[in-house]
Amino acid sequence: MSRYFFVSKHRKHLKHHCGHIHFQYGPQSETYTTHGDLWDKLYDQYRNYHKNSLNWNSKLLPLTLEVGTWSDLREDPSKLFRKRGIFNPASFNKIETIGRYRGFLRDFVRLGLMKPKDLK
């Protein structure tokens, strides 16, 4: 099973069964074009180490979330030009922003605990 099949199956579950349609899902290398992304490198090493195992059913699920950065920029694009703008969400927005992502984080952790055969 390729990494992209694995990601697309989880992407479909999070979007259609959990209702998280406003997120992008996939390897970091699809959105971040830095050289040698650490999580992708660790994931590839993990897959290569276990590729010959017949009954391999363990999981490595690297998790990186940027809570609120892009949604904050949509609300106030001028933050992009301020020195600390993109790293400091508005104080009235912090609780609301973090609260919005709790459901996603909960469903993401549940997804990591599910067996692949249980995904629809």
Q: Break the chain into its structural domains and give their ranges.
A: 3-118
Residue 81 has pLDDT above 80, yes or no: yes
* Closest alpha carbon to 68 in 44, 49, 43, 95: 95
Nearest to 63 by CA among 99, 101, 94, 117: 101
Distances (CA, A) of 94 to 13, 72, 85, 99, 104: 28, 10, 13, 8, 16
Q: pLDDT grade, residue 6 (50/70/90)?
A: low
> Can you tell me the mean pLDDT for 16-35?
64
Among 1, 25, 28, 29, which residue's Cα sits nearest to residue 14? Answer: 25
